[in-house]
Structure 1
Amino acid sequence: MPVNRRDFLTLAAGAGMAAGLLAGSRLVRAATPAPIGAVALDGFTTFDPRPLVARAERLFPGQGQALALAWRTRQFEYTWLRTLMGRYTGFWQITEEALGYAAAQLRLPLSGAQRDELMQGYRELRAWPDAAAALQRLRAAGVRLAFLSNFSVEMLDTAVHGSGLDGLFEPHLSTDRVQAFKPDPRAYQMGVDAFALPRERIAFAAFGGWDAAGAKSFGYPTYWVNRLGVPLEQLGISADASGPGLDGLVAFVLGAPRAQAPA
């Protein structure tokens, strides 16, 4: 049966409306974030590094703050440089080498005993005051937890046990597994592989702003635990949300609005 022009336009309009409704429903579904099933955490979100500064100040009065800053800066510069050069070594060795450089840079005479005492600080890291309660809330809600960290497994085991956090975490995702430090994508991929979840269902909790940028660039819904109140890194990408502690992470994971992960 022939269709006149007016009937054709009516049919076309109806088809277009139906297509629009279907497309709209797809958009609604796409805009609804998938529930978070797991959280990968950087170590310092949970373990407090501030006693390292106090220890440095005790050994080098008046210079401890400068030594701790130079040490930490060089520590992470060495992780990035070694990854770029393809010369991976464990984080403990990097930490010791960075300490030696920082002391030399500041012209501080670092004895073997002083070096050992400063390094011992990494074996005595303990949890931030809010950590245990926040992590237990996540586990009680059925959220899986694991550290995704530059730390070695031994360093993480020592900190977890010393902080009384045993039983909360799945096996540690140390960068030793992939021989590449964060923010290399190979490091972040460990979370996807270990949890067997798509990246948009794995939240990443970062301590450093650079780590937050790296995790977000990889595709994780990212929460920046900005405990030290430092400025946002100027890298053209930022975390979905941030706050000074792990209580904000709990709200982010368990239902606070967050940005849709990139396709």
Structure 2
Amino acid sequence: MGHRLCVFDAYGTLFDVSAAARAAAAEPGRAALAERWPRLAEAWRLKQLQYSWLRAVTGAHTDFWRVTEDGLDWALEATGLDGDAELRARLLALYRELEAYPEVPGMLARLKAGGLGTAILSNGAPGMLAAAVESAGIGDRLDAVLSVEEVGVFKPARAVYDLVGARFGTAPDEVLFVSANGWDAAAAAGYGFDTVWVNRAGDPVDRLPWRPGTVRPDLTDIPRLAGV
């Protein structure tokens, strides 16, 4: 079957998760952050993901905003930047308005012009996702924004991928699923989606039972891979 629908992970895929720390570091009076923001951003993202996985396997679900706050608190302490309540609040405010990668608006427009459905499937809480989509100005290029809060468990639980078929009535092989997280693209391939791993960092493929169908360095080629 051909693709009827292109589904995207949000954080790290459409939205640059390093943008909050990078933007804050460029503001006046943030010399300490300017020296440490790359390490902070990396630790923040790593703990955000680790906490989502641990909560999924233990059944201790909370929404992704709480996981994002907890990951930031760990990263701030690890980089010696804890204790600055104003910095913490600023980073969280910027996270709600993350920059989209530059190729995102045009890529989504090409998919829509080609007649494909488009959606986000994300760990993000609905409020987080709504704020990011509005900030990036891409709401008119998406048919749905699906959050794991509908099923109360984080990726890569199969119940999350089930949300796509439930919403659109698609078979898995009619879906092109795109993620910048190698583990997410691999798990989605195991589910039955046609998958693209957006490997911006040039990382090795994860050693998992499944592999992403295609690997690309960014999102530019997604319309062609989707068949439009």
CA offsets, 1:100-151, max 9 Å, x none? 1222234433321111111112112122111111111111111101100011
Q: CA deviation at 1:247?
A: 2.1
Q: CA deviation at 1:242?
A: 1.4
Kindly report which structure 2 residues correspond to 1:161-240, keeping only aligned pairs within 5 A, or say none.
161-240=134-213
1:249/1:151 CA distance change after superposition, 3 Å = same
For the aligned residues, what is the CA RMSD? 1.6
Does residue 68 of structure 1 match 2:12? no
Kindly report which structure 2 residues correspond to 1:120-159, keeping only aligned pairs within 5 A, or say none.
120-159=93-132
User: 1:244 maps to which residue?
Assistant: 217
Pick 1 or 2: higher relative contact order, CA cutoff 8 A, min separation 6. Answer: 2
Does residue 41 of structure 1 match 2:14? no
Q: What secondary structure is seen at the aligned counterpart in 2 of 1:70?
A: helix
CA distance in 1, matches of 2:80, 2:135: 34
The answer to whether the Cα contact below 8 Å between 2:21 and 2:91 also exists between their aligned partners in 1 is no
The answer to whether the Cα contact below 8 Å between 1:147 and 1:173 also exists between their aligned partners in 2 is yes
The answer to whether the Cα contact below 8 Å between 2:24 and 2:90 also exists between their aligned partners in 1 is no
Amino acid at match of 1:46: L
Amino acid at match of 1:134: M
Kindly report which structure 2 residues correspond to 1:96-115, keeping only aligned pairs within 5 A, or say none.
96-115=69-88
The answer to whether the Cα contact below 8 Å between 1:56 and 1:65 also exists between their aligned partners in 2 is no
Give the share of equivalent positions with the same residue, in percent.
32
Amino acid at match of 1:67: L
Amino acid at match of 1:165: I
Q: CA deviation at 1:56?
A: 5.7
The answer to whether the Cα contact below 8 Å between 1:225 and 1:249 also exists between their aligned partners in 2 is no
Does residue 93 of structure 1 match 2:63? no
Gaps of 5+ in 1: 1-33, 256-263
CA distance in 1, matches of 2:176, 2:167: 13
Q: What secondary structure is seen at the aligned counterpart in 2 of 1:172?
A: strand
The answer to whether the Cα contact below 8 Å between 1:204 and 1:221 also exists between their aligned partners in 2 is yes
Aligned pair count reads 222
Q: CA deviation at 1:236?
A: 3.6
CA distance in 2, matches of 1:215, 1:66: 29
Q: What secondary structure is seen at the aligned counterpart in 2 of 1:182?
A: coil
CA distance in 2, matches of 1:221, 1:239: 8
CA distance in 1, matches of 2:39, 2:25: 9
